Structure 1
Amino acid sequence: MPAPHNPLLDRLHPYPFERLRALNAGIQPNPALRPISLGIGEPKHPAPKLIEDALMASLKGLSVYPATAGEPALRESICAWIERRYGLKLDAASQVLPVNGSREALFALAQTVIDPSRPGATVVCPNPFYQIYEGAALLAGAQTAFANSDPARNFAADWSQIDAATWAKTQLLYVCSPGNPTGAVMPLEEWRTLFELSDRYGFVIASDECYSEIYFRDEAPLGGLEAAAKLGRHDYRNLIAFTSLSKRSNVPGLRSGFVAGDAAILKRFLLYRTYHGSAMNPMVQAASIAAWNDEAHVVANREQYRAKFAQVTPVLTPHLHVALPDAGFYLWAQVPANCCGGDDIAFAQGLLAQYNVAVLPGSLLAREAHGVNPGAGRIRLALVAETAECLEAAHRIAAFAQQETRA
């Protein structure tokens, strides 16, 4: 007799990179060119020395068990950063919690707030989307519904695609602003719409904001808590925001971030985490305090991305439909219809075979919904490497696109 297992695991879809490996299994990349990957959104800029120093100075932390709620000094440094960034005063004891990166927290929140015993328990996601949203929903016993991005409206999710009957069954809504992969930032009026829907139907909003500190406009992206405060929602009712140091501070291996918002939800979230075993390593807490307390390295990092995007984007625009995003470190490029038939997978496979550049086909980041896959025909380019490498990749992509384009 086979060992028992959770049947909800059978509902999971293959992760995009797993699907990509399978698609590329028979491809032999051009050996004359060194490999360049723009596929994975893993920051490659150097980690700040102040974070490394804080880690090394806190080795004695290995001898103690950490508290699940984190040290008061860490929660206070997070609150101080929120006040500097958004002008909001949060209670360090009840409205913030440190987490081991936004990924695990985005997953864990679904396990905290979803009641699978309610008929038709639903989680609404933007489409395309960060795949953890769907996995969290399915493993919490819920079903998913998708709102497709609309290229005509700066890739804003079309929430009108979700009908009243679906909203009535919705328990959790994931939003991502700045968006992955689109880079789009949600404006205040879109937040107003979502808050009104949340009030009407009672669902929780999980606002994924891990790209908030990499932006290309003069004005910093609007955050969910900031939007709530502007609209007079100072209790942040049914709203939890997620922020991470991975992109902001180039430390994806640190696994550090925070959640903030509705104190009642965070009280239940802390209870879940106490049993789940999600306490942050004391050394990571010390390094996180150093990171949240310093903004100079964040400004320098942002300027490096701005300079990089300013050089790379013009190389691609004559050959792909692509524009500078609002924020984030991705270009969300459309393959022209007369290039590889506009097929994102064919484009990515041909590019890898002939020019040894890996990119992520957009269709792997989305689900077919409302009769269309909104990622189809697009590729995601993660401009995370140093500028010279990204420029080399851009020139190869341009050469391949020009070669494959039919007049």
Structure 2
Amino acid sequence: MVFPERFSDLPAATWPRLRALLDVPTEASETINMTIGEPRHAFPAFVGDILADNLAGFGRYPANHGTDALLDAIGGFLKRRYDLDVPNDQILALNGTREGLYNAAMALCREEKHGQPVILTPNPFYQVYAVAALSVGAEPIYVPATQETGHLPDFKSLPSEILDRTAIAYACSPANPQGAVADADYWRDLIALAEKHDFMIFADECYSEIYRESPPTGALEIAMQMGADPERVLIFHSLSKRSNLPGLRSGFCAGGAGSIARMRNLRAFAGAPLPEPLQAVAAAAWHDDDHVVENRALYHQKYNVADEVFGNIKGYNSPQAGFFLWLPVVDGEEAAVRLWQEKGVRVLPGAYLSHDANGENPGKHYIRVAMVAPKEELQRGLFLIRDCLYG
């Protein structure tokens, strides 16, 4: 298979690139992997029993949009968390939010908007945003999310001719990798901009339940308060981080009835709905908040460890939410190789999550560190990073 020419603009795949970079021996007797954001806390104890009770569901084709029980559970979560009343026809159960973030562009991106449509993405970014843009023939515009912009993209700074061509803007809050959180004013400004220039907002809120103190504000929450076009905002959530169930591959998107109907139609032809036994597990997970509180408490301990280790390091920003550290270094690739060779610690160069724009890569001078390991292992790894790079 030969990819279309437009895919030449896409950065190399992250993990093969990292494996090639670290294909060198290490002097360390113990290795610690702090690259991938795969939660390692215990998932809810009820998962096994619910799965066992619903095994017969593997003998049926699953509900395309999500079972009524799952959609009801998601609606209940949205009511408790954001005080939103979202009917079931405005929710689509996803086989992981990556599916939704990609297929939403396939279903909803305009074919033309003052010429070739534009899709805006933060920079650094989750690579599916760029792949989706290129797949639908849109021009991806990478909007820097740097220290100067509070590690959130400053969409308002873009020229009007770009905004007028924009069909979709991806926004991630809490942000991966920086842990920055968009407050209510940020969402109001972005939604107002989208109303003015008539584009959609795809709000990736996968890390919304891992935070320090105040729950992050939701994009759909603010859109409804503003009385924005009901089709203006789609939100995307996941059980991977909230419930430590990355292998369940369960999430959802919610938004305008028209947008969800078009996504459901695409799913009917090209999607892969979650098997019904797994939908039953997902429904139980969205119903229950106790395990989420326990999970968040474990991350609070890790935030404190990170602050203790790096609090005196110049340029260190303690994350507001999520479970990544975005640590400043001279060169991310050089730092990653040195850490691996000398200390046996694997981290991700920030440039692998970013795109070169105007001759600069906003991730070049950072490494991303995943705080998913048990506390003691995490602490060892962070001290090794500090001693190697900042000692």
Range class of TM-score, shorter chain: over 0.9
Cα separation, partners in 2 of 1:372 and 1:11, compared to 1, 3 Å: closer
Aligned to 1:149: 145
* Equivalence for 1:245: 239
Deviation at 1:9, TM superposition (A): 5.1
Q: Does the 8 A contact of 1:147 with 1:161 survive in 2?
A: no
1:223 is matched with which residue: 218, 225, 229? 218
| 1:146/1:162 contact within 8 Å kept | no
SS at structure 2 position matched to 1:145: strand
Which residue of the partner structure matches residue 338 of structure 1? none
Report sequence identity in percent. Answer: 37
Three-state SS of the structure 1 residue aligned to 2:107 is helix
Report the AA paired with residue 221 of structure 1. P
Q: Aligned match of 2:273 in 273, 279, 284?
A: 279
Q: 1:374 aligns with which of 359, 362, 366?
A: 362
Query: What amino acid sits opposite 2:16 in the alignment?
Result: E
Match of 1:21 in 2: 19
* 1:156 counterpart SS class: coil
Matched, 1:181 2:169: no
Residue identity in the other structure for 1:22: A
Q: Structure 1 residue 319: deviation in Å?
A: 4.1
Matched residue, 1:391: 379
Q: Does 2:195 match 1:207?
A: no
Q: Distance in 2 between matches of 1:54 and 1:10?
A: 45
Partner of 1:101: 96
Equivalent-residue separation in structure 1 for 2:199 and 2:254 (angstroms): 17
Q: Distance in 2 between matches of 1:7 and 1:53?
A: 49
- Equivalent position of 1:34 in the other structure: 30
> Which of 258, 261, 282 does residue 288 from structure 1 map onto?
282
Amino acid at match of 2:235: A
Q: Is the 8 A contact 1:225 1:236 kept in 2?
A: no
* Alpha-carbon distance between aligned partners in 1 of 2:2 and 2:155, rounded to the nearest angstrom: 39
Question: How far did 1:232 drift?
Answer: 3.0
User: What is the CA-CA distance between 1:8 and the residue it aligns to?
Assistant: 5.3
- Specify the SS of the correspondent of 1:212: coil
In structure 2, the partner of 1:353 is 341
Contact 2:156 2:193 in 1 (8 A): no
Q: In the alignment, which of 122, 128, 133 is matched to residue 132 of structure 1?
A: 128
Taking the aligned partners of 2:35 and 2:272, their CA distance within structure 1 comes to 29
Deviates more, 1:104-113 or 1:3-12: 3-12
Cα distance in 1 for residues equivalent to 2:248 and 2:297: 22
- Write out per-residue CA displacement over residues 23-78 of structure 1, whole angstroms, 9 at most, x where no aligned residue: 222x2112x42110111111011111112221121100011111211111111110
TM-score normalised per structure 1: 0.92
Corresponding position of 1:339: none
Q: CA deviation at 1:11?
A: 5.0
State the one-letter code of the partner of 1:256: S
In the superposition, the TM-score normalised over structure 2's length comes to: 0.95
Name which of 295, 302, 323 aligns with 2:317.
323
Q: Which runs of 5+ in 2 are unaligned?
A: none
Distance in 2, matches of 1:153 and 1:170, equals 21
Structure 2 distance, partners of 1:44, 1:203, is 37
Amino acid at match of 1:401: L
Query: How far does the alpha carbon of each residue in 1:299-348 deviate from its partner, in whole angstroms, 9 at most, with x for none?
Result: 0000000012202331123346323211100111112xxxxxx1111111
Matched residue type, 2:332: D
Give 1:277 deviation, angstroms. Answer: 2.8
- How far apart are the structure 2 equivalents of 1:89 and 1:144? 33
Q: Which residue of 2 aligns with 1:122?
A: 118
Q: Hey, what's the Cα distance between the residues in 2 that align with 1:55 and 1:309?
A: 33
* Structure 2 residue 328 is matched with structure 1 residue 334: yes
Letter in 2 for 1:387: K
Secondary structure, counterpart of 2:145 in structure 1:
strand
Taking the aligned partners of 1:196 and 1:134, their CA distance within structure 2 comes to 24
CA distance in 2, matches of 1:267, 1:188: 28
Which secondary structure state, in structure 1, belongs to the residue aligned with residue 46 of structure 2? Answer: helix
Q: Does 1:195 align with 2:191?
A: yes
